[in-house]
């Protein structure tokens, strides 16, 4: 699919049997977690759920249909035989369309099952019938396929028992290219004609697309009139289920975590962090990284020039941060905590345990630790551009490097890191202290989240009320600061405040706009009400930025700081929005090939949204 004429039209290229066809369609891609189709019929409401219409009369001969909302489509292949026995009626069913179709079946009488409206219609195909769901959220889904044999009616005294023994509709079903039903006979499974049956399957969507393939494999009746053989289906319902870890996996994770913590504590305080003194520099050089995660005090002191003030990078939550250089030339950052502080010890153990279990390009990497000489030390990879706070509020020569594309890149990096912590990691984490001093920048100004001393494990099913509030004033969400209610939406709020700081270049905790506005977020609310939110943009940028892009990113930041946590979007949605607003839309080509059924689905970009 290619965007044409300013991005409001998609060009679909379809190839069937060597013939290339082009079709223009307007597209609005939406990520959904459900799909309901009334196969062969019109729009239907069943128990509060609206099933979409599927009454296109065409089918067979390599036909492909895309729904009006572009959320699903179907392909039909093959040709029906027109022969039928002498006792059989020429019109065994009625079509819901003015022109009778071989590919739809319709019946309104003698249906006594619940939800009869769903089973009163059906779509039929001679050989192959494929349904596609587009732009679905990745994850686990329950797929329900609804069947009822309504294409066979009693004709000229032939009862249903004789009918079902004479005619046999048999077909196979695959979902996501996996065989789920073989030699499926609707009449046999439903215990008769005009009886309904539902088959339920659990499937996984990992590329935003779902494929349901019903196909005739050469078994059953073939010498009868069309509608008497080939796959038939009355309805499709698809809904997403939350990914839950099995009890066995949870037990394994908990046991592993406890074992790691126990070993870490044992090695820290008794074995791993104490080494013989008097070793020569050459011996240290060979042992620095050989021990894996543990350093001794001599190594750290030598690397930081005995914690020289000239090597000091800044202050952290519970201590100072120094630059160091190991004897092999590796640059490191050393976070120094006081072992006499109860908070420092807790943060030290928490940070070692948390970061050791998490690996992501936008999370700072922990190289090791040390607990000697009454000191607790954490050793990280060195970030050449220090912290975001240093870049935003430090010397002018550093601030001058923060051009507009770099600021957008930093916002994206923070969003990616938080999305991983909240949704993609097996252990869901709430950071609790997102602020500029805890965002580090590498040589290319890629953002990496650091300082996990306050981090907490988060479970959606558990109500989180903490009695001990931890974090930084000005960045804490109101529901957490005032009532101790902690969810991952607290990090979303902090992200919104930090985004305002990145765009404006102003410190949220110390900036006092005027006598009427107390702090940065207060000023942002006032400007938003006046429709002048773009006035927050850092004046040092001059005119070297897109005012439209800046305004949309500022609006995103304001939505993240909504006082109501339920109205804040999760980080994954904020990340998608940032991609849309911070980068140009990708060019996506929607292809369809009937030569190979496996490649016959259009490739739809679910992150792209095209305005009509």
Domain ranges of the chain: 31-243, 247-381, 388-582
Return the pLDDT at 540: 92
Q: Is 335 annotated as a binding residue?
A: yes
Return the pLDDT at 590: 27
Query: If pLDDT is split at 50, 70 and 90, which confidence band does 8 have?
Result: very low
Nearest one of 579, 417, 423 to 488, comparing CA atoms: 423
32, 433, 451, 605: which one is catalytic?
433
Helix boundaries (H) for 272-374: 281-287, 297-303, 342-356
Considering the four listed CATH numbers 2.40.420.20, 3.30.200.20, 3.40.720.10, 3.40.50.300, the one that applies to the domain covering 247-381 is: 3.30.200.20
Q: Report how far Cα 295 is from the mean position of its chain's Cα atoms.
A: 38
Its sign, for the CA torsion 271, 274, 279, 280, is positive
Cβ(306)–Cβ(298) under 8 Å? no
Cβ(501)–Cβ(435) under 8 Å? no
Query: If pLDDT is split at 50, 70 and 90, which confidence band does 514 have?
Result: low
Residue 433 is a catalytic residue = yes
Return the pLDDT at 407: 96
Measured distance between the N- and C-terminal CA atoms of the chain, rounded to whole angstroms: 16
Overall CATH class of domain 31-243:
mainly beta
Nearest one of 191, 186, 39, 44 to 115, comparing CA atoms: 44
Its sign, for the CA torsion 214, 216, 217, 220, is positive
Cβ(571)–Cβ(492) under 8 Å? yes
Dist. CA 521–CA 496, nearest whole Å: 10
Dist. CA 229–CA 197, nearest whole Å: 18
Find the mean pLDDT for residues 132-159. Answer: 80
Find the mean pLDDT for residues 202-209. Answer: 92
Place domain 388-582 in its CATH homologous superfamily: Transferase(Phosphotransferase) domain 1 (1.10.510.10)
Q: What is the pLDDT of residues 347-402, one digit of tens each?
A: 666 666 666 667 899 999 888 888 777 778 888 899 999 999 999 998 888 888 89
* Plot region of 518 (φ>0 → left; ψ -120 to 50 → alpha; else → beta): alpha
| Mean pLDDT estimate for the chain | 77
Torsion of CA 411, 572, 68, 114, to 10 degrees: -170
Q: What is the pLDDT of residues 432-474, one digit of tens each?
A: 899 999 999 999 999 999 887 777 777 665 555 665 677 888 8
């Amino acid at each position: 699919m290619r965007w044409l004429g300013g991005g409001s039209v998609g060009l679909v290229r379809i190839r069937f049997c060597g013939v290339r066809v082009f079709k223009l369609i307007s597209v609005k891609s939406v990520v959904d977690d459900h799909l309901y189709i009334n196969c062969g019929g019109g729009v239907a409401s069943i128990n509060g759920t609206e099933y979409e219409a599927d009454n296109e009369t065409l089918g067979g001969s390599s036909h492909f249909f895309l729904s009006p909302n572009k959320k699903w489509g179907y392909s039909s292949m093959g040709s029906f035989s027109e022969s039928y026995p002498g006792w059989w009626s020429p019109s065994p069913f009625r079509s819901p369309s003015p022109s009778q179709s071989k590919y739809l079946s319709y019946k309104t009488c003698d249906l006594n099952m619940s939800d009869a409206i769903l089973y009163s219609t059906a779509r039929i195909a001679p050989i192959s019938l494929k349904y596609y769901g587009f732009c679905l959220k990745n994850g686990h889904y329950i797929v329900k396929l609804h069947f009822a044999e309504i294409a066979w009616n009693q004709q000229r005294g032939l009862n249903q028992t004789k009918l079902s023994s004479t005619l046999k509709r048999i077909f196979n079903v695959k979902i996501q290219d996996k065989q789920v039903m073989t030699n499926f006979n609707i009449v046999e499974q439903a215990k008769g004609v005009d009886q309904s049956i539902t088959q339920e399957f659990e499937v996984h969507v990992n590329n935003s697309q779902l494929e349901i393939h019903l196909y005739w494999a050469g078994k059953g009746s073939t010498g009868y009139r069309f509608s008497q053989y080939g796959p038939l289906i009355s309805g499709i319902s698809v809904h997403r289920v939350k990914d839950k870890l099995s009890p066995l996996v949870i037990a394994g994770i908990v046991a592993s975590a406890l074992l790691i913590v126990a070993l870490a504590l044992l090695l820290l305080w008794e074995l791993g962090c104490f080494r013989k003194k008097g070793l020569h520099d050459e011996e240290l050089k060979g042992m620095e990284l050989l021990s894996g995660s543990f350093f001794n005090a001599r190594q750290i002191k030598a690397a930081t020039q005995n914690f020289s003030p000239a090597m000091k990078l800044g202050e952290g939550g519970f201590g100072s941060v120094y630059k160091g250089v190991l004897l092999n030339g590796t640059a490191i950052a050393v976070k120094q905590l006081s072992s006499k502080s109860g908070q420092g010890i807790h943060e030290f153990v928490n940070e070692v345990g948390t970061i050791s279990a998490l690996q992501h390009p936008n999370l700072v990497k922990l190289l090791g630790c040390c607990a000697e000489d009454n000191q607790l030390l954490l050793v990280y990879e060195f970030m050449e551009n220090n912290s975001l706070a240093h870049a935003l509020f430090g010397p002018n020569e550093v601030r001058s490097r923060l051009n507009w594309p770099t600021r957008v890149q930093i916002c994206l990096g923070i969003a990616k890191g938080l999305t991983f912590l909240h949704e993609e990691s097996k252990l869901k984490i709430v950071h609790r202290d997102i602020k500029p001093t805890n965002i580090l920048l590498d040589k290319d100004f890629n953002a990496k989240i650091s300082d996990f001393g306050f981090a907490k494990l988060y479970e959606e099913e558990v109500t989180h009320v903490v009695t001990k509030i931890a974090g930084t004033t000005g960045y804490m969400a109101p529901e957490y600061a005032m009532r101790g209610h902690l969810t991952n939406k607290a990090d979303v709020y902090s992200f919104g405040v930090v985004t305002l700081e990145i765009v404006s270049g102003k410190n949220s905790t110390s900036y006092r706009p005027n006598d009427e506005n107390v702090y940065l977020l207060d000023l942002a609310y006032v400007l938003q009400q006046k429709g002048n939110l773009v006035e927050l943009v850092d004046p040092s940028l001059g005119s070297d930025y897109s005012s439209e892009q800046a305004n949309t990113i500022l609006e995103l930041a304001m939505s993240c700081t909504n006082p109501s946590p339920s109205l804040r979007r999760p980080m994954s949605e904020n990340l998608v929005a940032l991609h849309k607003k911070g980068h140009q839309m990708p060019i996506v080509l929607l292809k369809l090939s009937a030569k190979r059924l496996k490649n016959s689905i259009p490739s739809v970009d679910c992150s792209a949204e095209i305005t009509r």
